[in-house]
Structure 1
């Protein structure tokens, strides 16, 4: 198992732009503004389910790894830039090469194929932003992680959630649209960074948010903190995302959203998302941090309104 260390200095981190974390690590070259998004009208509903079957040690040994620094913290993660060739060419990954979802994305060299593949094998800038925010709290609003239950929605590589695993969270649950992303990347990243002495309840869920909220309600799963990055690129998904927030956040919990101000070609962005949230009158929405380099990006914190039935 070889390691590729690509650390940024503290000075670089404070001035990082869209390229400082190498956002082109993942599938597809993207357009000049970062994302290659293929809209698909006849999307297939994907029922939410728990994923429990993951890569064994033999498969993990074939991954190239990166060491990524967040302040004084270093996370070991799968280098997804090498993953496409591995899936298509290595016989050991035959089961993943037979996945229509992954093959569709690999064949199209696409970051997103709506309803088929939702970008989970790419490192996205806002996942980096969100992890840095959890560490540094640039506006002084410290988020308590120790002993908390945490859900990361649309996790992909799961860097924010993995960081929470290393900071004493009691439970960290990861959700991504694609089961294969959780099997190949998310679970592997979590496993690489959780030491044996840490007791963290990690679970993994794939599928649509519309059925995820039902699944979590059936299990009576409630979270102190919900994290999500780069998930508001399409306004069509706001209702189902909001439903997960509404049904799964504890009465005095917080939601932290990291996203770009706008997403080319799909209509989403921070302003439209905040407008939607405020129209539903369940949560307050506060912009607490802005990154101005490249395509502007923001961190938004949501809390239950006092008028919400679950507010306490």
Structure 2
């Protein structure tokens, strides 16, 4: 029997409807999903996924065209406002509503009981051992990561150099959505100012343990981000938004325009599911996801690996660290004239579960990586963001 595990966060999700403020002046300890309870959990729920010795989902690459064909006729959404630090302004990131995911699943399963059993994560548990990793919900550290990516001026390289961006444990993919929005803005600016000059290729690889997360929230969020950015330029998008406020109609023309935009903008979206493992890394590089750039640009590709809330148990930390190190080593070997780095966000300690950011840093350094702290959050839940490079 599968044992559910709950982090016992204060809220189910980072929820704009509850007027959660994510700006630098907000008190995140009171309003955001905060920290696991400090009481020791019972033995039946002490281990969050993944669990050593439990069967894990094998890695699998998902075809974008097939994923688009499974989308419902419309999706409901809200936008999350994140105040960036310094003079960088605010970014609005759209996310499919969790209740809309539930409605889709209820329609498909014909019963809310079946939905609850087959799709954990839409109920009371944040993690269900061996089944669900928490990807339907957005967590604090993903917001921290968005702020750091902006502070590190990652957006400046998105249109200048061939880029490969990999988000491990993406879930709702807030950081990757921010990068996608910045890339679209850069391409729009280039098109306006430089005419016929093409943008550099961009490959966005989104990886989550659960295929259902990729299909139900990750991909829809990218379609929403594109549609909101382009609605004033494409008539069918304006029409698709006007049927009902807070909803986007996903007509065949809308989805066709989305794929055409990706192709013309040299943006590739690639989706992988399954457990972190050597097999996962092999699939990452054997699939088309990291070979979409022209051959002449391959060795100059700038590679960034990102992850938030991915080390919440000792076994998760072990498998994530091994996978991350394998990716960085492969990038160094295959793209010697390029650049590969990782930016990882997490809580300093996951009470009652065993994972910690300090353990991750110590392990990466012991394996030969250079690790530098980019951000620390001391108010409320202690969190941090670190950069990892191979020395």
Under a length normalisation based on structure 1, what TM-score does the superposition of the two structures give?
Answer: 0.79
Aligned to 2:130: 115
Higher relative contact order (CA 8 A, sep 6+): 2
Deviations 1:25-80 (A, max 9, x none): xxxxx8546xx96636662221111123436587262x431111234321211122
1:121-270 paired onto structure 2 within 5 Å: 121-135=136-150, 137=151, 141-143=152-154, 144-147=156-159, 148-168=163-183, 170-194=202-226, 195=230, 197=261, 199=265, 200-210=267-277, 211-219=279-287, 221=290, 224-249=303-328, 250-251=331-332, 252-270=339-357
Shift of 1:294: 1.7
Aligned to 1:293: 379
Aligned mate of 2:97, from 62, 79, 84: 79
Shift of 1:13: 3.6
Shift of 1:248: 2.5
SS at match of 2:346: strand
Q: Assess if the C-alpha contact under 8 Å between 1:127 and 1:160 holds in 2.
A: yes
Between the aligned partners of 1:209 and 1:96, the Cα distance in structure 2 is: 31
Larger Rg: 2
Q: Assess if the C-alpha contact under 8 Å between 1:173 and 1:202 holds in 2.
A: yes
Between the aligned partners of 1:38 and 1:184, the Cα distance in structure 2 is: 28
Q: Assess if the C-alpha contact under 8 Å between 1:213 and 1:243 holds in 2.
A: no
Runs of 5+ unmatched residues, structure 2: 1-15, 84-89, 184-200, 231-257, 291-300, 333-338
Q: Given the superposition, is the C-alpha separation of residues 57 and 85 from structure 1 closer, same or farther in structure 2, using an over 3 Å criterion?
A: closer
Q: Given the superposition, is the C-alpha separation of residues 58 and 260 from structure 1 closer, same or farther in structure 2, using an over 3 Å criterion?
A: closer
Q: Assess if the C-alpha contact under 8 Å between 1:97 and 1:103 holds in 2.
A: no
Shift of 1:288: 1.3
Between the aligned partners of 1:57 and 1:226, the Cα distance in structure 2 is: 28
Shift of 1:242: 2.6
| Higher helix content, 1 or 2 | 2
Q: Assess if the C-alpha contact under 8 Å between 2:311 and 2:317 holds in 1.
A: yes
Aligned to 1:309: none
> Is structure 2 residue 119 aligned with structure 1 residue 103?
yes
Runs of 5+ unmatched residues, structure 1: 25-29, 306-312
Q: Assess if the C-alpha contact under 8 Å between 1:230 and 1:258 holds in 2.
A: yes
Pairs aligned (count): 285
Comparing 209-218 with 192-201, which one deviates more in the overlay? 192-201
Q: Assess if the C-alpha contact under 8 Å between 2:145 and 2:385 holds in 1.
A: yes
Q: Given the superposition, is the C-alpha separation of residues 65 and 23 from structure 1 closer, same or farther in structure 2, using an over 3 Å criterion?
A: farther
Under a length normalisation based on structure 2, what TM-score does the superposition of the two structures give?
Answer: 0.64
Between the aligned partners of 2:311 and 2:131, the Cα distance in structure 1 is: 17
TM-align CA RMSD: 3.3
Between the aligned partners of 2:353 and 2:60, the Cα distance in structure 1 is: 27
